[in-house]
Amino acid sequence: MASKSSGLNLKHMAGNLDSKETGTATKEYEDYFKEEDDSKRTGNYTDVVNKYYDLATSFYEYGWGESFHFAHRYKWETLRESIVRHEHFLASKLNVKPGDKVLDVGCGVGGPLREIAAFTGASVTGLNNNAFQIKRGEEMNKATGRHDNCDFVKADFMNIPKPDATYDAVYQIEATCHAPDAVGCYSEIFRVLKPGGVFASYEWCLTDKYDPTNAEHRRIRQEILIGNGLPTARTCEEVLTAMKKAGFEILEEQDLVKTADISWYEPIDPYRAWRPWRDFWSFKTTIWGRAVTHYLVWFLETVGIAPKGSMGVSGFLKKGADGLVAGGKAGIYTVMYFTAARKPL
C-alpha cells in the first residue's frame, strides 16, 4: 500500500470541473489570494478548498502518489519508506484493534487510510468534501482490494454527518489546516469520537519564529496559502489552545521536524541533490524535473489536450512549493506538529 507516484493523468486534470470551466475556476481561485486579509478565504473556505483539489489533485498524484503528505525521515530511508512509517507512527497512537471504527478527517484519495486499515485491522472511513477525490479513492480501494474495511463519506469536517460518539479513534494528516475555524473543526471531531478515544494529528503551523511584522515572512506565508489551498494559517500554540477549547486532554505534543535527520521540505527543494539509485521518481520535483513538467503542461494546454488553466495550476503549485521550502529553511513553518489528544471518559 506504499504511496506510488505515477504519470500525469490527463483524463483527470480538471477534477470534477468541466474542461471548459477550468480557466475561469483557476482565475477565481487565484483571486481569493490577492489580499493578505484571510477573511474572504475563511468565509468561502468550501469553494477555496474544492476548487483547489479539483484543479490540483492530478498534479498531487503525479508528484506524491496516493499519500499527499510529508514525513519524518531518517537518513537511511527513502521518501516512500518514511511516508509509510509516518502513517504507522500516527496509527500506533490511536490504540485501536481489528473491528474498531476509525475516521480519517480530510482523507485525500485515501492512501493513508488504506495503509492504516491494513496496519491496524480497523475499519477506516475517509471524510472528504471533494467529490472528485472520493471518486479517485473509491477507484483505488477497488484496485487494491481494500474496499472491505475502507470507505468514504462526502462531508465538511465543520459539520460531520455522524451521531455523537460514533468512532473509536480519529486522525488527520495535514488536512485540518484547511479549516476556517480550528475550534469549530476540533469540536466536531470531539463530538463524533467516543469517550476515551484518541485524536491523533499532524498539523501545518507557523512556528514561534514567524514575525507578522516581517514582510518576507508574510510573503512566504501568502505563497504557502495560495499554493496549498489554505484559507488561513495558525501557530502551534493556537492549534494547541483550540484543541483544549474543544474539550480534549493533550497526551502528547511535539514538532517532529526537530527530530528528523532530513529536512521535511527536502523532497520539494528543487536544488537538492538528486539520487536516482535511491528514488528515481523524485526527479519530478528537482529543478530539471519542474522544467520538464512546466513545458509539458504548456504544450498540452496549447494543443488543447490539457484543459485551459492547467498552466495556472502548475504555476501556483510551484509558488506553494517555493513558499514551503522558504518557510522550512527560515524555520517559520512546520508541517509536522504532532498531537495526540483524548476525549475524557
pLDDT tens by residue, 89-135: 999 999 999 999 999 999 999 999 999 999 999 999 999 999 989 99
Q: Which three cell numbers stand for residue 246?
A: 474543544
Residue 15 confidence class, pLDDT cut points 50, 70, 90: low
Please state the separation of Cα 188 from the chain's center in Å. 19
Q: Are strands 101-105 and 167-173 parallel, antiparallel or unpaired?
A: parallel
For cell 519508506, name the residue: 81
Question: CA-to-CA distance for 328 and 263, rounded, in angstroms?
Answer: 8
Determine the average pLDDT of the residues in 161-190. Answer: 97
Q: Which of 89, 33, 65 is nearest to 230 (CA)?
A: 33
CB-side neighbour CA atoms (13 Å) of 232: 19
**Rounded to two decimals, what is the model's pTM?**
0.90
Give the single-character DSSP code of 264: T
pLDDT tens string 298-340: 887 788 877 777 788 788 888 999 999 999 999 999 999 999 9
Q: Which of 200, 198, 194 is nearest to 171 (CA)?
A: 200
Determine the average pLDDT of the residues in 287-306. Answer: 82
Low-confidence winner among 28-37, 255-264, 323-332 (lowest mean pLDDT): 28-37
CB 71, CB 82: distance < 8 Å: yes
The amino acid present at 289, given as its one-letter code, is G
pLDDT tens string 188-223: 999 999 999 999 999 999 999 999 999 999 999 999
- pLDDT confidence of residue 19: 66
For cell 491523533, name the residue: 200
Structural element, H or E, at residue 344: none
CB 305, CB 10: distance < 8 Å: yes
- In angstroms, the Cα distances linking 138 to 39, 97, 133, 173 are 34, 24, 9, 19
Higher per-residue confidence, 291 vs 15? 291
Determine the average pLDDT of the residues in 161-168. Answer: 98
Question: CA-to-CA distance for 80 and 84, rounded, in angstroms?
Answer: 7
CB 101, CB 197: distance < 8 Å: no
| Residues contacting residue 125 through CB under 8 Å, at least 6 positions apart | 101, 102, 103, 104, 113, 150, 151, 152, 153, 167
| Residues contacting residue 23 through CB under 8 Å, at least 6 positions apart | 307, 308, 309, 312
- pLDDT confidence of residue 198: 98
Q: Roughly how many angstroms between the first and final C-alpha of the chain, as a whole number?
A: 34
Please state the separation of Cα 221 from the chain's center in Å. 16
Which three-class secondary structure state does DSSP give residue 167?
strand
Question: CA-to-CA distance for 54 and 57, rounded, in angstroms?
Answer: 6
Residue 49 confidence class, pLDDT cut points 50, 70, 90: confident
Q: Which of 330, 329, 292 is nearest to 63 (CA)?
A: 292
* Overall residue count recorded for the chain in this entry: 345
Residue 72 confidence class, pLDDT cut points 50, 70, 90: very high
- pLDDT confidence of residue 2: 47
Higher per-residue confidence, 8 vs 168? 168
Question: CA-to-CA distance for 127 and 263, rounded, in angstroms?
Answer: 29
CB 232, CB 180: distance < 8 Å: yes
Q: What angle do CA 54, 26, 269 make, to 5 degrees?
A: 80
Instruction: Please list, residue by residue across 264-300, b when 16 or more beta carbons sit within 10 angstroms of its beta carbon and e when fewer do.
Output: bbbbbbbebebeeeebebbebbbeebbeebeeebeeb
The dihedral built from the CA positions of residue 88, 93, 203 and 50, taken in this order, carries a sign that is positive
| Residues contacting residue 322 through CB under 8 Å, at least 6 positions apart | 223, 227
- pLDDT confidence of residue 16: 56
Mean confidence (pLDDT) of the chain:
89
